[in-house]
Structure 1
Amino acid sequence: MMKIDEIMEFLPHRYPFLLVDRIVEVEKGKSIVGYKNVTINEPHFNGHFPGKPIMPGVLIIEAMAQVSGILGYVTAGRSAADGSIHLLAGSNKARFKRPVIPGDQLRMESTLVSNKHGIWKFDCRALVDGEVVCLAEIMSAERSA
């Protein structure tokens, strides 16, 4: 399990763009499970949407990409502290099944599909209360500083 201080050693993201609160499972080279606690205090809810706050789909994709990046770092034995970075390179087959709202706990699951020439591919899904809210294939490009 990784708490926020360890997550921040792997990811270069910081407020308001760090979208992972906890990692509860990680199997090097295989899969990872992490959580994002969704709160009304997040800045995007001011405008998305007034009176009907919904987490933007692009932020759900970004949260899954951040969890996937941690899996990539763990698998490669590196971290952001080493000067390595996983950049979001693409998202395919994204499907949104229901809105994510303040008070939800977003469970993000990512499975490593491949790593070829520094391009990582992951199958991801996000759930709230066991119900799938988003499915996507995420690609990241690993780069050195």
Structure 2
Amino acid sequence: MDAATEAVNKVIDINRIMQMIPHRYPILMVDRVIDVMPGASAVGIKNVSANEPFFQGHFPQRPVMPGVLIVEAMAQTAAVLVVETLGPDAEGKLVYFMSVDSARFRKPVEPGDRLELHVKKERSRGSVWKFSAEGKVGDTLVAEATYAAMILDN
């Protein structure tokens, strides 16, 4: 297996994610990151459970994952990609949103769905990174956005 294939097949599990980014329950929105290409792209996985605390109020009669949390899950996937790209010195640093553009929500994400967060780096300059992302359930596009984030020293 060559280095490019190994990078694409790399899986980052929940324990490693928690070493890489500071988010914790109930706001940690990514269970696993797969298909990691450092400096380029990654796919985050969020297994949407009926036990998620946000479903108590959004909406009890028809639970739907809030769009803002889908965008947060995209951003957390991007943060893992940034840390994987920059290496151990970036672990645990905070990554702040600077902008969210062109967010579109196409179909509700419901309990039982496996949300895949396809994140691509568009560009980076210094500590500022810009990404495009798509959220998919199976082959269905459920959300998309572009956003910028800044990584800061703690």
Q: TM-score range by the shorter chain?
A: over 0.9
Within-5 A mapping of 1:1-145:
1-77=11-87, 78-81=89-92, 84-145=93-154
Report SS of the residue matched to 1:23.
strand
Structure 1 residue 80: Cα displacement: 3.2
What is the rounded CA distance, in whole Å, between the counterparts of 1:41 and 1:80 in structure 2? 29
What percentage of residue pairs aligned between the two structures are identical? 41
Q: Give structure 2 stretches of 5+ with no counterpart.
A: 1-10
Q: Give structure 1 stretches of 5+ with no counterpart.
A: none
TM-score, length-scaled by structure 2: 0.90
Report SS of the residue matched to 1:7.
helix
What is the rounded CA distance, in whole Å, between the counterparts of 1:95 and 1:109 in structure 2? 14
Aligned residues: 143
Where in structure 1 do 4 or more consecutive aligned residues deviate above 3 Å?
A: 78-81
Report SS of the residue matched to 1:109.
strand
Listed one character per residue, the Cα deviations across residues 77-118 of structure 1 (whole Å, up to 9, x for unaligned) are 24333xx22112211010110000000000001011111131
Q: Superposition RMSD on alpha carbons, in Å?
A: 1.0
